[in-house]
Amino acid sequence: MTRPVYLVDGARTPFLKAEGKPGPFTPVDLAVQCGRPLLARQPFDRHIFDLVILGCVNVIADEMNPARVAALRLGMGEEMVAFTVQTNCGSGMQSIDTAFRYIQDGTHEMILAGGTEALSHAPLVLRQEAVEWMGALRAAKSPMQRAKAAAGIKPHYLKPVVGLERGLTDPITELNMGQTAEVLAHRFDIDRKTADAYAMESHHRLAHAQSEGWLNDEVMPAFDRDGAAYDHDTGVRPDSDMAGLAKPKPAFEPPFGKVTAGNASQITDGASWVIVASEEAVEAHGLTPMARIVDSEWAALDPSVMGLGPVLCSTPLAQRNGLGVADVDLWELNEAFAAQVLSCLAAWQDADFCRDVLGLEEAFGQIDRDDLNVDGGAISLGHPVGTSGNRIVLHLANAMQRRGDVKGIATECIGGGLGGAMLLEAT
């Protein structure tokens, strides 16, 4: 049994750029901040959901299974089943995909699916040597043993490991995510200037969308305990220009690399939710869907070129649904790195690549920049990893409605060598 599945509504927090110290909100705080207004504006009671699924990569110790903690804090009732999913940068889309399939198969009617991430809260981790030293100290029984164990410490044990850095490094290839973008830039001949120009455009587009009020229904203000109100994505630089972008040094492979802090996605905190519902639920509650979720696809490839993930999953998704490049009206392709987005576009235009890797007879084709990331992306608004996959689906639906588009694909590359894509259709 397959049933139509709809995206009914969604909302997110402003994405808050990490300022070098823990931000005002934990992952669940963020999920609550945008979940509250989203639920408050629905015409139905918040208890009627069947399930809550939340993507989150860096779960903090105080919030194990953040989905369940969020559901309870949102007042959805003690009987609300909730689980957390973690597929790195795909987590926020994985939650929607799982909801989509559960509803499609007839077992669920309405699911709240989200993603949340507070990268500014990523912990400092003790070195393994330090942990072992502490263990020995604790196991020591006599004062002599304790003194001996204590003396075993070496100064470098106390130097903490930045958890975030480890999290953004692929454990198989030992390549940092930025380095995977350098690999792609080299393979697809993306130069620094082209990458910077892409980044500048991302900022300008986001600033324009903000000033036009296009994000008003999507971005819910967040309020912290110190009285601050956050009403927009704080990473945006409306006056971004090429001269400014030329300044930063390569962040990952100095001195010759091309990927800089300016043309990479920003480290931010943020959360996003969407409401996924069956046709029956839509009718029962008199809802007006934003879009229909048509299909989804996941793909995998070598972790060192994970940035091509969108190409590997979106192409079969489009093909399976009989869509050529011109049939997709709008694309949200998560901007992990400018060089990585541009490499995807290049790969789709590369007939050899498309033939050898995707099994096409010719190049998939050119995606018009006017139909791609039209309101900016992770470079300008940031990439809270567990959230981004959710945000791009939500924003795709919003932007399609505004533009009157019929078909759209949201897709992302995923650290570790995956790609995820979701096809929406106007209702």
* Nearest distance, CB of residue 19 and other proteins, angstroms: 18
DSSP tally for the chain: helices H, then strands E: 15, 14
Q: Are 334 and 411 in contact (CB under 8 A)?
A: yes
Q: Is 424 in the site for other proteins (CB under 8 A)?
A: no
Say whether residue 225 binds other proteins (CB under 8 A).
yes
The least CB distance from residue 217 to other proteins, in Å, is 9
Which residue's CB is nearer to other proteins, number 26 or number 334? 26
Task: Name the residue nearer to other proteins (CB basis): 3 or 41.
Answer: 41
Shortest CB 37 distance to other proteins, Å? 6
d(C-alpha 61, C-alpha 86), whole Å: 15
Q: Which is nearer to other proteins, 11 or 410 (CB)?
A: 11
Question: Does 228 help bind other proteins (rule: CB under 8 A)?
Answer: yes
Catalytic residue among 89, 313, 344, 354: 89
Q: How far is CA 340 from CA 53, 138, 188, 356, in A?
A: 29, 48, 9, 20
- Of 311, 303, 302, the closest CA to residue 343 belongs to 311
Known active-site residue 383: yes
In 3-state terms, the chain is what percent helix, strand and coil (to 5)?
45, 20, 35
- Restricting to residues 76-105, which ones interact with other proteins according to CB under 8 A? 77-79
For every residue of 319-382, DSSP letters joined together read HHTT--GGG--EEEE--SBHHHHHHHHHHHT-HHHHHHHH--SS---PPPGGGBSBTB-HHHH-
User: Is residue 221 at the binding interface for other proteins, with CB under 8 A as the rule?
Assistant: yes
Give the shortest CB-226-to-other proteins separation in angstroms. Answer: 6
User: Contact at 8 Å (CB) between 319 and 328?
Assistant: no
Q: φ and ψ at 72, to 5 degrees? A: -70, -40
Backbone phi and psi for residue 364, each to the nearest 5 degrees, phi listed first: -65, -40
Binders of other proteins among 14-33, rule CB under 8 A? 32
Of 129, 231, 350, 371, which lies in the binding site for other proteins, with binding defined by CB under 8 A? 231
* Least Cβ distance, residue 73 to other proteins (angstroms): 5
Residues 6 or more apart whose Cβ sits within 8 Å of residue 405: 329, 330, 399, 426
Q: Which one of 108, 121, 204, 383 is the catalytic residue?
A: 383
Identify whether the C-beta of residue 373 lies closer than 8 Å to the C-beta of residue 205: yes
Give the number of residues in contact with other proteins, rule: CB under 8 A. 21
Residue whose C-alpha is closest to residue 39's, from 55, 24, 52: 52
Is 413 one of the annotated active-site residues of the chain? Answer: yes
208 included as an active-site residue = no
Contacting other proteins (CB under 8 A), which of 226, 361, 362, 370?
226
Q: What is the bridge-based pairing of β-strands 330-333 and 16-17?
A: unpaired
Name the one range near other proteins by CB under 8 A: 67-75, 199-207, 349-357, 417-425: 67-75
Comparing CB distances to other proteins, the nearer of 41 and 186 is 41
In the shown chain, the binding pattern of residues 168 to 207 toward other proteins, with x for contact by CB under 8 A and - for none, equals ----------------------------------------
The minimum distance between CB 35 and other proteins, in angstroms, equals 10
Of 19, 40, 158, 327, the one binding other proteins (CB under 8 A) is: 40
Q: How far is the CB of 229 from other proteins (least distance, A)?
A: 4
Out of 193, 223, 238, 351, the residue judged to bind other proteins by CB under 8 A: 223
- Is 56 strand, coil or helix? coil
Q: Which two tokens stand for residue 250?
A: 């390569």
Kindly state the smallest distance separating residue 204's Cβ from other proteins, in Å.
25
What gap in Å lies between CA 313 and CA 297, rounded to an integer?
Answer: 6
Could you list the beta-strand ranges (E) of 99-221.
110-118, 124-125, 161-162
Residue 224 sits in the site that holds other proteins (CB under 8 A)? yes
Out of 34, 56, 313, 413, the active site residue is: 413
Residues 320-359 that bind other proteins (CB under 8 A): none
Site membership for other proteins, residue 41 (CB under 8 A): yes
What are the strands, taking DSSP E only, across 181-280?
A: 222-223, 229-230, 268-278
- Cβ proximity to other proteins: between 42 and 349 the closer is 42
Minimum distance of other proteins from residue 23's CB (angstroms): 16
Angle between helices 338-348 and 351-358 in degrees, nearest 10: 90
- Of 120, 88, 116, 124, nearest in space to 267 by CA: 120
Q: Does 75 bind other proteins (CB under 8 A)?
A: yes
- The residue among 151 and 229 lying less far from other proteins, judged by its C-beta, is 229
Binding site for other proteins (CB under 8 A): 32, 36-37, 40-41, 43, 73-75, 77-79, 221, 223-229, 231
**Which residues are catalytically annotated?**
89, 383, 413
